Structure 1
Amino acid sequence: MNSNQMPHQLFILFRGCARAVLCLAFCLATAHAFAQQVPFASINKAFEQHRNHALQEKLFLHIDRPVYVCGETMWFKVYNVDGTRHQPLDMSKVAYVEVLDAQQKPVLQGKIGLKAGLGNGSFILPATLASGNYTVRAYTNWMKNFSPDFYFEQPVTIINTFQQLDAAAKPTAAAHAVRFFPEGGNLVAGVANKVAFQATEQSSGKGLAFTGILQDQQGDTVAEFSPHKFGIGHFTFTPATGSRYTAVITLPDSSSFKQKLPVAQERGYALQLQETPTGQLKLTVWQQGELGEQLYLLAHTRQAVAFSAAAALNQGAAVFLVDKAALADGITHFTVFNESRQPVCERLYFKSPAQSLQLNLATNKPHYGIREKVTLDLQAQLPTSQQVPANLSLAVYRLDSLQKSIPESIESYLWLTSDLRGTVENPGYYFSEAGATDQEAMDNLMLTHGWSRFAWQDVLAEEPARLQFLPEYNGHRINGRVTLSTTGAPAPRVVTYLASPGKRVRLYNATSDAEGLISFEMKDFFGDRDIVVQSDFTKDSTYHFEIFSPFSDMYGAAKPTSFNISEGLAQALTLRHVQAQVRQAYFGKYINRTVPPAVDSLSFYGQPDEQYLLDDYKRFKVMEEVMREYVPGVQVRRSGGKFRFMVFNRPYKGIFQNNPMVLLDGVPVFDIDKIMAFDPLKVRQLDVITSRFFNGPMVYEGLVSYTTYKGDLAGFELNPKALLQAYEGVQLQREFYAPAYDTPEQRQSRLADLRNLLHWQPNLMVETGKGGQVDFYTSDQQGEYLVVVQGMTESGLPGSQVTTFRVEEPLTRK
């Protein structure tokens, strides 16, 4: 190597080393970034798995009125939707509806059948109920896997006019509650913190009007504040390290009280959300203390991921920019995670729905006389002028001093309150013309009411939580347990039969699992019934059977507000009492009629191979003669002094050697001697299946089914070890009755008509872009009436509307 070559080679060597160093640095940086991204990516994966594992259902009930007296009927329509897309969800076929008293004890319960996510039901309010504020709640069997805070709840008032009302309680010093909510969840020292607050009067739950100042521990004022709406507002201040702060609240009556703020953290994260002029949301996260180098933001709208990104901390702050156009309508939940996948800040943001179902109501007249026909024009529109079906429910009732408020609408529930923690005062305001432009009120609401649908520890858990309750895809499920009667221990692998005596023969079977649990899928099981649960006692009679209540035994934190009726409402109460009694006296025979369910009347085994209507034959007084004389498909034999049946296996031209399944009104009878001792004159029909029969996992060597005249077992004595229990199936639908006044004779009827509820129509089908009409008649009661209609399209767009009309001068009767 000469001297001229040396510098060039050294340069090549140096350049190669530099490349190696740069490559090593790049690899280390990439590895670090990849190491940071891997746990963040796993958050999205865990979130998606949780969403798939724990699909959310939402129920909404349109309840006809807010106030009732005992003896009236409460009507309601059930809407079941996918919790993410808000589209009608045809998963659960049963909704469980309850009326809870002030102590959260159920006083009325019903199982409401659902089809394509819709159903309707009713309760007749008995005279045993005490006057008070109650809660109507609804849920599905699948929803029982999650917090009861997810159940639908709506307050109603029920007044027992048959009982003396308790004297109104003497006014006492009102109990007030003020809570403070730092934006993002943490109050962090040394950083400007937006702090929201909510002040309520505890007995009514209503927001308080007040003025407040924030003082430090030296008594100096650092902020002044007052509510913006419904006792909710916010202020901003920078807490000093080690300082404590106290809010001084002054009420309109000049009384005051103090409330301490949470202690500011010296180390932690603070979050601030701002809207930019360019249509973006700017989320800034400040870190106090050396806690990490990178943060991760995940945004979801009803568990559908809308945005996710990682950002490095720069001088103690990380900034995320989110396009509002990328967010879905409704509540978006922002969560900030640190490098250890721990959520450190959370914030809610509401985006007003861009589309909704527009409903327009108009009566053909603003005023009506008594017993006059009302024609209601209904128009349904979508912003896109699409023509799609919408399923609605409609209620028309009289406004009086007892019921002035309008219950929550389907829009405010689905878009807002169903995903928030706690009670929202007047949720309809946020969807009114005034509330739609009041962004401050909505943002304050987002700051004070946290997300309620899940906890992050459940989402990020290594193993998904075990879900105990199954969706009822095909109908109501009756669940229970089999135990050993001697020890009470679970009895596994026991074949158990459930039957309900009746002319419509149904038989259900289940095998107990390792914990002794059994479950029967009861498709088309309606009304009040008796059920019989048993095993084959000829093989083993040591089992005890128990049937569980299908209603939830978990209750949310919210309770009805205190009940207080003033003396000034005595006249309104008297009128409502008279209305209920007149309705019962004159229309009682019409108001409790039910609609027969559209179910298959065939027995579960279909068309039998042989069928005998015993009245068509010579009637014998002994069952053995019946079987031997004209039932060729069954041979009667005696073995060891006991009867046995041997059914012909006609497809294979043989004879089964084992007893068939023998039923009496659908109830299995395993002891052939008992059926042979039964009086045949009580039997109307005998069916025989002359082949092997499959019923679920069970296989029977033929089937012999006896049906009595009334389908009530006709005095047949069941095995004492069988469980006989009264059970209410899916509720039969009542018919809403209202008199018509089409003719002069009907209008001149002397029967008083003092109906408070003029019309209820739970299934009103319209098509958007087209008009429809609803007709009904006024009663003899003058006053102002409210029309409430709400519902949704098949694509999930909700809508509601109200209007009023008056009934004034009576018609002149000719």
Structure 2
Amino acid sequence: MRRIIEMDIMMKTINIWIACSLLLISINMSGQITSSGIERTAPKNANKENVYIHYNTSLLFAGEHLHYKIYSLKSKTNTLSTFSKIGYVELVGENSSVVFRHKIRLKNGIGQGEFFIPVTVPSGNYKLIGYTQWMKNYGVDSFFQSDIGIINPFQNNQESILEHSPKSEKISFDNTEKEANRNNLISATLNKRIFKKRDKGVLTIGTSPKNEFDGDYSISIRRIDSIRRPLMPSAIDYTAPSTENTSFDEKHGYLPELRGELISGKIVPKDPNSSLEEEEIALSIPGKHFILKLTRTNTDGEFYFNLNQEYNSDDAFVQVLGENRGKYEIQIPDKPFINYENLKFDKMTITPEMAHLILKRSVYNQVENAFIEVKPDSIEQIDTVSPIYRQYSITYDLDDYTRFSTIRETASEILEHVWVRKDKNGEELFQIRGEENVAESNLLPLVLIDGILIQQHSDVIDFDARKIRRIHISREECVINAIVYKGIIALETIQGDFPQKFEREYVSNLKLFSPLPKKKYFNQEYNHATKSTSDQIPDFRQQLLWQPKLILDDDKTNIEFYTSDVAGKYEIYLEGFTNTGNPISVKEVFEVK
């Protein structure tokens, strides 16, 4: 197997050599972008936030992962903020192009994410940006900003990072290894300073006194780059931009995301004389753990939904409820563009003498990515707390019964306390008999299919029951945002594909900008139990450990990791903040031979 791997590496090496050789063809100095921030003055505002991002490296190759953790902090105290529930992280190029824009759920002020650098991203200098929606009121200068360099040897044009060097120069090393522990009351001790390949390492974090260091932390263990890279701000060194003399954006007036994601829109009447106020609006996000939100419009026809639940769909459906549903159009405005033209970029450069280092690291990355399936990360399970519209008293699995061709027949023959009636206009409707000793009413039940709210029950009554897996029933009143339904009828299709086929003039489809799922990252281990398989798999990891959620819960906390087959010096970065707002930075260096 090793022979096959070596042949595969040789084949891929040829391609990378061609790309690396092109680095020597044209050598140019890239120009410096200058900017002057927008200067505005305004009175102070409450609930100001800052963002700090701890990330694993400021130099990335195509084929590597950027890992990061976002800390949302109160401006005055530096303690974790619970004001905003959503954070945003972006990677922006010198031409103001956005490589990625992530939405991150914040729980008690913290969140995490990652981005795989594809071969389509060119070599260049980039900015890592972090903010909350509330911070947008104070402009780009209030955002977290830090520099990141990207090297992509698979593309020919390297002019943005090449440095003219007529003479052979010694490669510059980052000065990270010269930095020591920055906290007198916190200690970091390794079980050894020099490790063998595939060796076990133990980092012991000691705190004294312990209770002063209760807080939230993240840790990265990564090989020190031989190519000079942009500096990474530590929690101690990072100084949030002052907003004392920055005006509040009255034009946009960005609302804070206090209870979760904020989705907004407005209704536009087809008849200009129609009222805009107090129209009921429904938002459905389909899926196994579907979400249903109901709200009402204000005097301007605007509506807002707060999404505080996790979901795994990119589609949502918005509709006006009631008899007036056909009188309006629904508009979901695009988010205002963020102007990044005035960003200033530090310059990472490479020289022809670095071609061999670039080639070697690129080969390592290709091998690691070829074996990604045996080193998988996993997505953490979403919160499955059932809201009232997913709480049922009885479930009918239709495979347990004689199947009928329509839901009408199924309701008549199988479902208890459910029937179809006609209203005064001859429209067919479902009806549910309420619980015992509960007064009857003319309220209609909430009807759902794959999580989509169905207003016209005729859309479901004669639906093909052979496509339905289960029918869930609740006979209890269901109250959602002061809108009352007499029970619930929730149908679940076998394929879960009803939303893709459902179209009505009064229903608008919305593509969601969904938060990233939370991941648990793979940690390599070498022991007797894994020896039979691990011996056959190459290990060229540059990143030995990334742990975004680290709790120092004892006087001494042990963190285990395993070295790879890549020799060199490695750095340990531990960053975070105590519950009292003190920044913590621990940096250590060790070597693998």
Paired position in structure 1 for 2:548 = 762
Paired position in structure 1 for 2:562 = 777
Paired position in structure 2 for 1:224 = none
Alpha-carbon deviations, 1:18-70, whole Å to 9, x = none?
A: xxxxxxxxxxxxxxxxxxxxxxxxxxxxx9x965x432111111011111112
Counterpart residue identity of residue 127, structure 2: T
Helix, strand or coil: the match of 1:650? coil
Paired position in structure 2 for 1:412 = 237
Paired position in structure 2 for 1:560 = 345
Which of residues 224, 233, 245 in structure 2 aligns to 1:455? 245
Paired position in structure 2 for 1:305 = none
Alpha-carbon deviations, 1:522-561, whole Å to 9, x = none?
A: 1123344211111237533243323345686254832323
Q: Does the Cα contact within 8 Å between 1:620 and 1:626 map onto a contact in 2?
A: yes
Which of residues 136, 155, 176 in structure 1 aligns to 2:147? 155
Structure 1 residue 507 corresponds to structure 2 residue 271: no
Helix, strand or coil: the match of 1:605? helix
Paired position in structure 1 for 2:370 = 585
Give the C-alpha shift of residue 483 in structure 1: 2.2
Distance, in Å, in 1 between the alignment partners of 2:198 and 2:465 is 57
Paired position in structure 2 for 1:525 = 310
Distance, in Å, in 2 between the alignment partners of 1:713 and 1:590 is 36
| CA gap 1:747/1:488 in 2 versus in 1, 3 angstroms | farther
Specify the structure having the higher radius of gyration (Cα): 1
Range 79-88 or range 490-499, more displaced: 490-499
Paired position in structure 1 for 2:399 = 615
Distance, in Å, in 1 between the alignment partners of 2:246 and 2:561 is 51
| CA gap 1:688/1:550 in 2 versus in 1, 3 angstroms | farther
Distance, in Å, in 2 between the alignment partners of 1:138 and 1:612 is 48
Q: Does the Cα contact within 8 Å between 1:682 and 1:714 map onto a contact in 2?
A: no
| CA gap 1:170/1:785 in 2 versus in 1, 3 angstroms | closer
Helix, strand or coil: the match of 1:742? coil
Q: Does the Cα contact within 8 Å between 1:491 and 1:543 map onto a contact in 2?
A: no
Give the C-alpha shift of residue 783 in structure 1: 0.8
**Identity among equivalent pairs (%):** 25
Structure 1 residue 688 corresponds to structure 2 residue 473: yes
Q: Does the Cα contact within 8 Å between 1:97 and 1:139 map onto a contact in 2?
A: yes
Helix, strand or coil: the match of 1:649? coil
Structure 1 residue 751 corresponds to structure 2 residue 537: yes
Distance, in Å, in 2 between the alignment partners of 1:153 and 1:165 is 26
Counterpart residue identity of residue 356, structure 2: Q
Counterpart residue identity of residue 78, structure 2: H
| CA gap 1:50/1:589 in 2 versus in 1, 3 angstroms | farther
Distance, in Å, in 2 between the alignment partners of 1:111 and 1:168 is 29
Counterpart residue identity of residue 243, structure 2: R
Q: Does the Cα contact within 8 Å between 1:636 and 1:643 map onto a contact in 2?
A: yes
Paired position in structure 2 for 1:627 = 411
Which of residues 86, 93, 109 in structure 1 aligns to 2:85? 93
Distance, in Å, in 1 between the alignment partners of 2:487 and 2:161 is 70
CA-atom RMSD in angstroms: 3.1
Matches within 5 A, 1:338-737: 358-381=185-208, 387-404=212-229, 406-413=231-238, 417-419=239-241, 452-455=242-245, 468-484=253-269, 491-536=276-321, 539-548=324-333, 553-555=338-340, 557-562=342-347, 564-588=349-373, 590-600=375-385, 602-639=386-423, 640-650=425-435, 653-713=438-498, 716-737=501-522
Distance, in Å, in 2 between the alignment partners of 1:793 and 1:457 is 30
Give the C-alpha shift of residue 686 in structure 1: 1.7
Counterpart residue identity of residue 401, structure 2: Y
Which of residues 63, 81, 104 in structure 1 aligns to 2:73? 81
Helix, strand or coil: the match of 1:739? coil
| CA gap 1:800/1:642 in 2 versus in 1, 3 angstroms | same
Distance, in Å, in 1 between the alignment partners of 2:474 and 2:459 is 20
| CA gap 1:617/1:50 in 2 versus in 1, 3 angstroms | farther
Q: Does the Cα contact within 8 Å between 2:279 and 2:296 map onto a contact in 1?
A: yes
Helix, strand or coil: the match of 2:51? strand
Distance, in Å, in 2 between the alignment partners of 1:617 and 1:787 is 61
Counterpart residue identity of residue 391, structure 1: D
Give the C-alpha shift of residue 588 in structure 1: 3.5
Helix, strand or coil: the match of 2:411? helix
| CA gap 1:671/1:95 in 2 versus in 1, 3 angstroms | same
Give the C-alpha shift of residue 777 in structure 1: 0.8
Distance, in Å, in 2 between the alignment partners of 1:667 and 1:523 is 19
Distance, in Å, in 1 between the alignment partners of 2:504 and 2:452 is 11
Q: Does the Cα contact within 8 Å between 1:137 and 1:154 map onto a contact in 2?
A: yes
Distance, in Å, in 2 between the alignment partners of 1:389 and 1:124 is 32
Which of residues 565, 570, 584 in structure 2 aligns to 1:799? 584
Q: Does the Cα contact within 8 Å between 1:77 and 1:393 map onto a contact in 2?
A: yes
Distance, in Å, in 1 between the alignment partners of 2:312 and 2:333 is 18
Counterpart residue identity of residue 79, structure 2: Q
Which of residues 53, 65, 89 in structure 2 aligns to 1:61? 53
Counterpart residue identity of residue 195, structure 2: Y
Unaligned 5+ runs, structure 2: 1-40, 165-181
Give the C-alpha shift of residue 681 in structure 1: 1.8
Unaligned 5+ runs, structure 1: 1-46, 173-354, 420-451, 459-463, 809-814
Distance, in Å, in 2 between the alignment partners of 1:638 and 1:372 is 75
Helix, strand or coil: the match of 2:413? helix
Distance, in Å, in 2 between the alignment partners of 1:551 and 1:356 is 42
